[in-house]
Amino acid sequence: MSLHEKDTIRENLDDDVYASIDLTVSMPKYQFPQEEQDPRCAFSVVRDELMLDGNSRQNLATFCQTWAEPEVHELMDLCMDKNMVDKDEYPQTAEIEARCVHMLADLWNSPAGANTIGCSTTGSSEAAMLGGMAMKRHWEAQRKAAGKPIDKPNLVTGPVQVCWHKFARYWDIELREIPMDKDRMLMTPDEVLKRCDENTIGVVPTLGVTFTCQYEPVKEVAEALDRLQAESGLDVRMHVDGASGGFLAPFCAPDLEWDFRIPRVKSINTSGHKFGLSPLGVGWIVWRDPADLPEELIFWVNYLGGNMRDIGLNFSRPGGQVVCQYYNFLRLGKEGYRKIHEACYDTAQYIAEQIDEIGLFDVIYNGQMDAGIPALCWKMKDGTDPGFSLYDLADRLRTRGWQVPAYSLPAHLDDLPVQRILVRHGVSRDLGTLLVADIKRAIEYFEKHPVQNSMTAKDASGFHH
Ligand SMILES: *Cc1c(COP(=O)(O)O)cnc(C)c1O
């Protein structure tokens, strides 16, 4: 190597990242790169591109956690190599998962206590698939035993999250989703009964409906189904989609009966990464009793050493989120979860009052602790046209980094736009105050600069959570 080359190499090593040769060219975007690159340079390019994603803390559309304690970051780092499926290799991670299932069963008042069966999943969507499949299998077994056909299963729900649409489509089940009505945005016992028949595999109420954030009346629906059974013999099971509410109601509305206190509730799913306060990538499902999980859904695998029970759609899956879930349980307990969530409810109610005072909007849900999740949701006042749409407002707020989604409701209110704010761990009162000031400023802006061509649902980017 010539002396001259050595100089060049030394010079390159000392280069400031942004002065390096590597970064003077545009990076490959869609073709596989030919050559290697200095990790510092590649890292800078990737990290910088992520800046354009928007600031997750200001993303008030998502239900998922965007702030975590430093200890959670450290545990995630320690768990980089933990594969949830390798239960024999990482028996302690598997043990931690099992403890979480028991703690959740306890939190949700499972009578089977220590015998309850359940597992972690990638999120509520996978958990919902498992809960749905268990109901379908159970229904099929009953029908077969009675010599009846099993070709027309249906599922009765209120306005559900997209995961239930997926479940119905992937598994060929007729989804009987109760349409919304101007005065009724949730399922009611009567509307449920109208749709149940001998082909109904189950009824799924949601604790924290995606569109309005409210709780559906689980107990009232269960009582209606009890009456149906007394009158007709039809025994329809319930699964509760507690994606958000499963980690809220036990702490903030402990008297609300929605869980295993109701015998008809056979399984519950929740998202650990929502109000369970874990990092992205964990959900849970718990069955009331081991008998409620049909044997066919359990796989026994022996090629990892040992004979291990495996329930779930995935094979390999990261273990860090599960470990952090356990950390949160130990760290916070019921008391800690209650304090964090109550602070969020308070902030949600404060923002709701402020939005109401502006005078242009009707608050549909104001963050009331026993009626829904820490969030708020509003629409334009009937018959008012302030000269801008909720989509315009959402767009304007983006100039300050806020992501406050405007979207249309499902059938039959699909021509009614609403706007929603999720208040999560880390959205403080102070941040809420700044947001309200920006909302008011945006409205003043529209007064001075009238919108020529108001945005509609078609122009708005989708927010589907
Ligand atoms: C978020 C959500 C889901 C989907 O959960 P993931 O954890 O994102 O898979 C399902 N149902 C409801 C009610 C939700 O809020």
Ligand 1 neighbourhood includes 328 CB (under 6 angstroms): no
Spatial contact of 188 and 217, defined as CB atoms under 8 Å apart: yes
Residue 284 shares a structural domain with residue 173: yes
Structural domain contains residue 360:
no
Spatial contact of 267 and 287, defined as CB atoms under 8 Å apart: yes
pLDDT-derived band at 275, boundaries 50, 70, 90: very high
What is residue 87's predicted lDDT score, i.e. its pLDDT? 87
| Predicted confidence (pLDDT) at residue 311 exceeds the cutoff of 60 | yes
C-alpha 126 – ligand 1 centre gap (Å): 9
Structural domain contains residue 60:
no
What is residue 462's predicted lDDT score, i.e. its pLDDT? 56
What is residue 5's predicted lDDT score, i.e. its pLDDT? 77
Structural domain contains residue 393:
no
What is residue 300's predicted lDDT score, i.e. its pLDDT? 86
| Predicted confidence (pLDDT) at residue 42 exceeds the cutoff of 80 | yes
- Within its chain, how far is the Cα of 304 from the centroid? 31
Residue 11 shares a structural domain with residue 121: no
Residue 85 shares a structural domain with residue 190: yes
Residue 173 shares a structural domain with residue 258: yes
Rounded-to-integer distance, Cα 66 and Cα 424, Å: 8
- CA torsion 174-180-184-186 (nearest 10°) is 50
What is residue 366's predicted lDDT score, i.e. its pLDDT? 98
C-alpha 255 – ligand 1 centre gap (Å): 24
Say what percent of the chain tops pLDDT 90: 85
Residue 218 shares a structural domain with residue 314: yes
Which residue carries 């027309």 as its tokens?
152
Residue 128 shares a structural domain with residue 260: yes
- Cut 0.85: pTM above it: yes
The range of the structural domain enclosing residue 302 comes to 73-329
C-alpha 271 – ligand 1 centre gap (Å): 7
Q: What is the phi/psi pair of residue 156, to 5°?
A: -105, 125
Hey, what are 189's tokens? 């016992």
Residue 93 shares a structural domain with residue 46: no
Amino acid, single-letter form, for residue 116: T
Structural domain contains residue 61:
no
Last residue within a domain, chosen from 284, 300, 329: 329
Q: What is the phi/psi pair of residue 345, to 5°?
A: -60, -45
| Predicted confidence (pLDDT) at residue 52 exceeds the cutoff of 80 | yes
CATH code at position 198: 3.40.640.10
pLDDT-derived band at 464, boundaries 50, 70, 90: very low
Residue 168 shares a structural domain with residue 256: yes
Which residue carries 């989703």 as its tokens?
177
What is residue 47's predicted lDDT score, i.e. its pLDDT? 96
Hey, what are 40's tokens? 């510092």
Ligand 1 neighbourhood includes 276 CB (under 6 angstroms): no
Strands (E), 394-440: 406-408, 417-422
State the total domains in the chain.
Answer: 2
Q: Which atom of ligand 1 is nearest to the CA of 206?
A: 13
Residue 30 shares a structural domain with residue 160: no
Ligand 1 neighbourhood includes 120 CB (under 6 angstroms): no
| Predicted confidence (pLDDT) at residue 463 exceeds the cutoff of 70 | no
Q: Which residues contact 227 (CB under 8 A, 6 or more apart)?
A: none
C-alpha 22 – ligand 1 centre gap (Å): 42
C-alpha 125 – ligand 1 centre gap (Å): 6
Structural domain contains residue 172:
yes
| Predicted confidence (pLDDT) at residue 379 exceeds the cutoff of 60 | yes
What is residue 6's predicted lDDT score, i.e. its pLDDT? 77
Say what percent of the chain tops pLDDT 70: 97
Last residue within a domain, chosen from 308, 329, 350: 329
Residue 171 shares a structural domain with residue 35: no
Structural domain contains residue 432:
no
Ligand 1 neighbourhood includes 129 CB (under 6 angstroms): no
For 420-447, what is the mean pLDDT? 97
Amino acid, single-letter form, for residue 362: D
Closest to 122 (Cα-Cα) out of 331, 279, 16, 298: 279
Ligand 1 neighbourhood includes 372 CB (under 6 angstroms): no
Last residue within a domain, chosen from 329, 345, 371: 329
| Residue pLDDT, tens place only, 122-171 | 999 999 999 999 999 999 999 999 999 999 999 999 999 999 999 999 99
C-alpha 25 – ligand 1 centre gap (Å): 41
| Residue pLDDT, tens place only, 257-273 | 999 999 999 999 999 99
Structural domain contains residue 273:
yes
Residue 33 shares a structural domain with residue 78: no
Structural domain contains residue 36:
yes
Residue 133 shares a structural domain with residue 168: yes
Which residue carries 């022996």 as its tokens?
302
| Predicted confidence (pLDDT) at residue 1 exceeds the cutoff of 70 | no
